[in-house]
């Protein structure tokens, strides 16, 4: 029986991220004061949405289920408009609530709908993937994709609670589990090396959805994210010159470029894995990260079977994709790099020869 962990996050409101098993019985209590509840979910979770609907109806709520497309197909203005129209048709008021249940794309979309309907209604997230639990559903970044790029339209809008029921992971495809753990490796590298030790030395347990180590790893990764977001919710910079929320973009500059080149067919975590290797190599070549620190990237990502190389011959496309990434400022590329494990820093405008050399070293 997994313990129940509670991690508080302090943003524009303080809320709890709960990690454990059998959490959905808590939902009705957290929705008290609402008359209507809209559950936004992908088709693959229809049975769970039906179960939530019948529980909530028994508790006296009016429930509408809003089924949306899977994965990134959910994050469009058309899908947001479909939700707004359904809320309008059901007379959804400011005291009513939205529940976002699904992976990161679902909770991003549900968060955006909650932020914009009547300028903000109550929002509860029920993430059902590792990526959603440790990253997307925590921290209040919501948004949709447009022609101009991913996540360029959105709002910072925190949920009232995040319920990470790890039983949902039991039916997750193993590749999604491994890819989600790339974000856990990321926070291990930047902020909590004990996570890396467990991933390298207890890999099988980390991948066991019925064991106790996976929920504990999720707790530790959520704790890192909660601390970062509580210090720098709006990504304007941390205290005392610390890097702040941008640390969460470790590995993402190159990772987003890979996702773009692969037309978003790669799992986000797989692209982040390659991105982590690229930036570790960049920092190693630049004399910032030592060999042991570099090897921790190889060992942790390798243990999970995540990709650590990328095909050669694509530098021009990768470079231009990195330049349109929203982490670029002006014409200078900016990378979160490590000066050692647990010692993240910003590196603005690394020498172009290093940028090319790091790609050559991680390309297969
Ligand atoms: N996923 C990066 C952030 O929440 O800031």
Sign of CA dihedral 206, 211, 214, 219: negative
**pLDDT, tens digit, 9 for 90 and up, residues 293-308:** 999 999 999 999 999 9
Ligand 1 atom nearest the C-alpha of 228 is 5
List, for residues 16-26, the tens digit of each pLDDT value.
999 999 999 98
- Tell me the residue ranges of DSSP E strands in the chain: 5-10, 14-20, 36-42, 62-68, 97-102, 122-127, 141-146, 149-156, 161-165, 334-338, 344-348
Give the residue from 94, 114, 37, 101 showing the smallest Cα distance to 68: 101
State whether 138 and 190 are in the same domain: no
Both 200 and 320 in a single domain?
yes
Count of structural domains within the chain = 2
In the listed set 171, 191, 209, which residue is the last one of a domain according to the structure? 171
CATH code at position 255: 1.20.1090.10
Q: What is the b/e burial string over 291-312, where b = at least 16 CB atoms within 10 angstroms of the residue's CB?
A: eebbebbebbbbbbbbbbebee
Q: Which is the closest atom of ligand 1 to the Cα of 248?
A: 2
Please, what is the average pLDDT of the chain? 96
Integer Cα distance of 219 and 224 in angstroms = 9
Residue where one domain finishes, among candidates 136, 171, 206: 171
User: How does DSSP classify residue 134?
Assistant: I
Give pLDDT tens digits for 161-203. 999 999 999 999 999 999 999 999 999 999 999 999 999 999 9
209 alpha carbon, distance to own chain's centre: 19
Q: What is the DSSP letter of 147?
A: T
**Rounded percentage of the chain residues whose pLDDT exceeds 70:** 98
For residues 30 and 90, membership in a common domain is answered with yes
Do 146 and 258 lie in a common domain?
no
Read off the pTM.
0.96
What's the CA-to-centroid distance between 248 and ligand 1, angstroms?
A: 5
Per the structure, the complete domain to which residue 290 belongs is given by 180-362
Pocket of ligand 1 (CB under 6 A): 135, 139, 141, 245, 248
> What is the CATH classification number for the domain harbouring 66?
3.40.50.1970
* Main-chain phi, psi angles of 97, to 5 degrees: -130, 150
């Amino acid at each position: 029986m997994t313990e129940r962990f509670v991690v508080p996050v302090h943003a524009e409101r303080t809320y709890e991220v709960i990690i454990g098993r059998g959490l959905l019985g808590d939902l009705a209590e957290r929705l008290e004061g609402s008359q209507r509840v809209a559950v936004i979910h992908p088709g693959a979770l229809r049975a769970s949405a039906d179960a939530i609907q019948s529980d909530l109806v028994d508790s006296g709520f009016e429930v509408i289920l809003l089924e949306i497309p899977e994965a990134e197909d959910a994050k469009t203005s058309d899908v947001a408009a479909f939700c707004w129209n359904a809320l309008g048709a059901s007379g959804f008021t400011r005291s009513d609530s939205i529940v976002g249940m699904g992976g990161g794309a679902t909770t991003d979309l549900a968060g955006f709908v909650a932020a914009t309907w009547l300028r903000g209604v109550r929002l509860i997230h029920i993430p059902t993937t590792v990526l959603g639990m440790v990253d997307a559903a925590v921290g209040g970044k919501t948004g949709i994709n447009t022609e101009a790029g991913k996540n360029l339209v959105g709002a910072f809008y925190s949920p009232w609670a995040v319920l990470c029921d790890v039983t949902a992971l039991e039916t997750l495809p193993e590749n999604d589990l491994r890819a989600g753990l790339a974000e856990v490796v990321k926070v291990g590298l930047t902020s909590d090396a004990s996570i890396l030790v467990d991933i390298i030395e207890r890999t099988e347990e980390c991948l066991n959805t019925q064991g106790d180590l996976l929920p504990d790893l999720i707790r530790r990764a959520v704790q890192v994210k909660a601390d970062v977001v509580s210090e720098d919710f709006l990504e304007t910079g941390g205290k005392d010159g610390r890097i702040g929320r941008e640390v969460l973009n470790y590995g993402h500059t190159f990772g987003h470029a890979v996702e773009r080149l692969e037309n978003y067919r790669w799992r986000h975590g797989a692209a982040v894995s390659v991105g982590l290797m690229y930036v570790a190599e960049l920092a190693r070549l630049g004399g910032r990260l030592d060999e042991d620190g570099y090897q921790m990237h190889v060992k942790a990502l390798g243990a999970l079977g995540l990709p650590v190389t990328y095909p050669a011959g694509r530098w021009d496309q990768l470079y231009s994709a990195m330049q349109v990434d929203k982490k670029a400022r002006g014409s200078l590329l900016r990378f979160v790099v490590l000066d050692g494990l647990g010692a993240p820093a910003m590196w603005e405008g690394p020498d172009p020869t290093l940028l090319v050399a790091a790609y050559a070293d991680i390309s297969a």
